[in-house]
Structure 1
Amino acid sequence: MKVSVIMGIYNCEKTLKESIDSLLNQSYQSFEIILCEDGSTDHTLQIAKEYVENYPQKIHLIQNETNMGLAYSLNRCIDSSKGEYIARMDGDDIAYENRLEKQMSYLEAHHECALVGSQVYLFNNTGIWGVRKPKIDPLKKDFLFSSQFVHPTIIIKKAILNQIGNYTVSKATLRAEDYELFMRLYAAGFTGHNLPDILLYYREDETTFKRRAYKYRLDEAKVRYNGFNKMKLMPLGLIYVLKPLIVGLIPQKVLTVLRRQGLGNETVDENPTRLYK
């Protein structure tokens, strides 16, 4: 098989089935799914076991004894993977049926590219509310403002992940493991590409925003400082190190309004279609 899709799953009983089904229905089928259950307190584990029972050749399950966090869980998945490429997916997002096909087609035609992501629809329980459009070919300086890849859209060469030490497991990266990883990749001389296609429905709602407590803003500032140093973006980067601390002072209701107005890389879809295509 070519691809190992890795998922750290935690308390996602309401969305996990839809997420896994979107993978099972892919037009590209040379892949396995590796789930790492991270100490859920709902029925996530039971749902995962049912899928493993129904698709024993396709889906594999790892269990953490206690909640260890996403980076730790993803590293366990990588260690157990058999694919040449690692694809990310979350237990509350939905992939287009041609997601893996399009991304693998690009990677196999562009061997100089370490990872590939895509554009995404932003959605919540009421439907699509926006679009996130990361830059097609991000440069180091683009990481000053924010991460340049939507984490659950990426596919990356496993050998490169292993070369840079996979995900960093630490308190500081608890809510920024993807940002930290991408900056290390670029600091090591690798580059990535975002397809212009929308290939994923990315769940972002009030619950997502509420998880971003101010202590995580402080940790992100540390991640930025270290990442910008490694990418040799200092001293200019010092200004951008403060960004999460400033944003964290803005009331949540105001942030939600700003996001829906399409600030930054987010633009509101004025004519949203049905959620699934």
Structure 2
Amino acid sequence: MKISVIMGIYNCEKTLKESIDSLLNQSYKSFEIILCDDGSKDTTLQIAKDYVKKYPQKIRLIQNETNNGLAYSLNRCIDISKGEYIARMDADDVSYKNRLEKQISYLESHPECALVGSQVFLFNDNGIWGVRKAKSDPLKKDFLFGSQFVHPTIIIKKTILNQIGNYTVSKATLRAEDYDLFMRVYAAGFRGHNLQDVLLNYREDNATFKRRAYNYRLDEAKVRYNGFKKMKLMPLGLLYVLKPLIVGLIPQAVLTLLRHQGLEKNSVDKKTHPTI
């Protein structure tokens, strides 16, 4: 078994099937799928059980007795994984057919690379509406501006995950477990790469800007501080630690306007990509 694809699933009955089907349709075949249900209240768990019954050699399912968050669920998946590499996937996104094939090919031809991500198209129920671009070879200093990888696109060597202690389970990382993870990977001396191919459709609403509660911004500031300190980006990093706190003070109307300007800049020609 070369790859273990890990997914935390929670109340995702409307999108889970499409997500799993996109994995089962991969051109690359040497992988398993591990699902961890995090206390779903809808039919998510039953949908997952149906897939396990249909694909018992391909899909495994574990359950949390209570809702413990994504990082906790992913760590449970990692603990029982059989793959040499760990791939991420979210229950509301769609992987392209050649995703795993392209990523594993890059990793095996670039042994110095710890993890690989990709570009993504942004989509909602109406189809593709934008693109999120990721720098091909991020450096430590790039993390001052935010996470440099789209979490559900990554594949990472399992040995490196284990070496840095897998995902951090804490209140501070509840909404930033990926940002924290990638900074710890870089702090340990490893590097990653983003393929320039679009290999995943990332679900995101383009209609409204959802303001994070200020306590989550405080948590992100803590994650930034700890990460920048580990990567030896201080004292310059202190300026960027304040970013989420400052953004949290900007009026809702201004944030929405800035977001819409960004969406227009990253819009996709619907004639070229009419649907997902």
Q: Shorter-normalised TM-score: what interval?
A: over 0.9
Look up the match of 1:72. Answer: 72
Look up the match of 2:268. Answer: 269
Q: Which amino acid is 1:110 matched to?
A: H
After superposition, the Cα gap between the structure-2 partners of 1:108 and 1:114, relative to the gap in structure 1 and judged at 3 Å, is same
Please give the alpha-carbon distance, in whole angstroms, between the structure 2 residues aligned to 1:20 and 1:216: 30
After superposition, the Cα gap between the structure-2 partners of 1:137 and 1:104, relative to the gap in structure 1 and judged at 3 Å, is same
Q: Which amino acid is 2:12 matched to?
A: C
Query: Equivalent residue of 2:193, what SS?
Result: strand
Query: Equivalent residue of 2:262, what SS?
Result: coil
- Residues 204-223 of structure 1 aligned to structure 2 (within 5 Å): 204-205=204-205, 210=210, 212-223=212-223
After superposition, the Cα gap between the structure-2 partners of 1:252 and 1:122, relative to the gap in structure 1 and judged at 3 Å, is farther
Q: CA deviation at 1:8?
A: 0.4
Q: CA deviation at 1:75?
A: 0.2
| TM-score in terms of structure 2 length | 0.95
Q: CA deviation at 1:129?
A: 1.6
Look up the match of 2:44. Answer: 44
Native 8 Å contact 1:260 1:268 kept in 2: no
Q: Deviations over 1:94-127 (max 9, x none)?
A: 0000000000000000000000000000111222
Native 8 Å contact 2:116 2:194 kept in 1: yes
Q: Which amino acid is 1:52 matched to?
A: V
Native 8 Å contact 2:128 2:275 kept in 1: yes
Residue identity over aligned pairs, in percent, reads 82
Q: CA deviation at 1:22?
A: 0.3
Please give the alpha-carbon distance, in whole angstroms, between the structure 1 residues aligned to 2:63 and 2:145: 35
Q: CA deviation at 1:260?
A: 3.5
After superposition, the Cα gap between the structure-2 partners of 1:252 and 1:98, relative to the gap in structure 1 and judged at 3 Å, is farther
Native 8 Å contact 2:173 2:223 kept in 1: yes
Question: Are positions 1:89 and 2:89 aligned together?
Answer: yes
After superposition, the Cα gap between the structure-2 partners of 1:208 and 1:109, relative to the gap in structure 1 and judged at 3 Å, is farther
> More deviation in 179-188 or 200-209?
200-209
Question: Are positions 1:114 and 2:118 aligned together?
Answer: no
> More deviation in 244-253 or 140-149?
244-253
Q: CA deviation at 1:206?
A: 6.6
Q: CA deviation at 1:209?
A: 5.4
Please give the alpha-carbon distance, in whole angstroms, between the structure 2 residues aligned to 1:256 and 1:270: 22
Q: CA deviation at 1:214?
A: 1.9
Q: CA deviation at 1:256?
A: 4.0
- Residues 181-260 of structure 1 aligned to structure 2 (within 5 Å): 181-205=181-205, 210=210, 212-252=212-252, 254-260=254-260
Please give the alpha-carbon distance, in whole angstroms, between the structure 2 residues aligned to 1:253 and 1:98: 40
Q: Which amino acid is 2:132 matched to?
A: R
Please give the alpha-carbon distance, in whole angstroms, between the structure 2 residues aligned to 1:118 and 1:208: 25
Aligned positions, number: 275
Q: Which amino acid is 1:40 matched to?
A: S
Look up the match of 1:63. Answer: 63
Q: CA deviation at 1:218?
A: 0.8
Look up the match of 1:54. Answer: 54
Question: Are positions 1:168 and 2:168 aligned together?
Answer: yes
Q: CA deviation at 1:275?
A: 2.8
Please give the alpha-carbon distance, in whole angstroms, between the structure 2 residues aligned to 1:207 and 1:11: 22
Query: Equivalent residue of 1:226, what SS?
Result: helix
Native 8 Å contact 2:87 2:154 kept in 1: yes
Look up the match of 1:32. Answer: 32
Q: Which amino acid is 2:266 matched to?
A: T
Native 8 Å contact 2:211 2:252 kept in 1: no
Look up the match of 1:7. Answer: 7
RMSD (Å) for aligned C-alpha atoms? 1.8
After superposition, the Cα gap between the structure-2 partners of 1:188 and 1:257, relative to the gap in structure 1 and judged at 3 Å, is same
Structure 1, unmatched stretches of 5+, are none
Q: CA deviation at 1:195?
A: 0.1
Query: Equivalent residue of 1:105, what SS?
Result: helix
Native 8 Å contact 1:2 1:85 kept in 2: yes
Structure 2, unmatched stretches of 5+, are none
Q: CA deviation at 1:273?
A: 1.4
Please give the alpha-carbon distance, in whole angstroms, between the structure 1 residues aligned to 2:65 and 2:209: 27
Q: Which amino acid is 2:25 matched to?
A: N
